[in-house]
């Protein structure tokens, strides 16, 4: 099933809309705020991809733009790919854990807790 991606003009979230088939009519509504004021993201029809697919597609010869990281699934991919390219794959288990913490917000909480304890 193809997925169209939109940016909600009200709350700025990225919205994915499943469509039965390319070219079929669809009603796109932001699932966060309910707005139908959505902007289609440039001709992107994406299919659910594995992280391996995302890694394979990532071009590390240039910096990904800021929009890239609005999709939390992309957090850490650049670092992972660079490490793989540099042959540092033995460090990957740790990186996976750090990236997972980054995506879930746990890393931020740990930083904040550490910063707080230093201030005491």
CB 1 within 8 A of CB 12: no
Q: Which string of DSSP letters, residue by residue, matches 27-60? A: ----TTT----EEEEEEEEE----HHHHHHH--T
Report in angstroms how near the CB of residue 8 gets to Zn ion at its nearest.
3
Q: In the stretch 35-74, what mask flags binding to Zn ion with x, by CB under 5 A?
A: x---------------------------------------
How far, in Å, CA of 114 to CA of 100, rounded?
19
Handedness of CA 103, 106, 110, 113 (dihedral sign): positive
Binding to Zn ion (CB under 5 A) within 87-106 occurs at: none
Question: Of all helices (H) and strands (E), which one includes residue 12?
Answer: none
- Does residue number 77 form part of the binding site for Zn ion (CB under 5 A)? no
Q: In the stretch 1-20, what mask flags binding to Zn ion with x, by CB under 5 A?
A: -------x-xx---------
Report in angstroms how near the CB of residue 14 gets to Zn ion at its nearest.
10
Would you tell me which residues interact with Zn ion (CB under 5 A)?
Answer: 8, 10-11, 30, 32-33, 35
């Amino acid at each position: 099933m193809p997925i169209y991606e939109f940016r909600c003009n009200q709350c700025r979230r990225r919205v994915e809309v499943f469509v039965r088939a390319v070219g079929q009519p669809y009603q796109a509504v932001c699932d966060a705020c309910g707005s139908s004021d959505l902007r289609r993201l440039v001709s992107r029809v994406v299919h659910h991809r594995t992280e391996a697919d995302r890694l394979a597609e990532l071009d590390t010869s240039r910096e990904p733009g800021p929009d890239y990281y609005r999709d939390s699934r992309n957090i850490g991919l650049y670092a992972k790919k660079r490490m793989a390219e540099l042959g540092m794959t033995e460090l990957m288990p740790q990186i996976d854990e750090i990236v997972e913490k980054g995506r879930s917000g746990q890393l931020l909480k740990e930083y904040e807790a550490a910063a707080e304890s230093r201030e005491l």
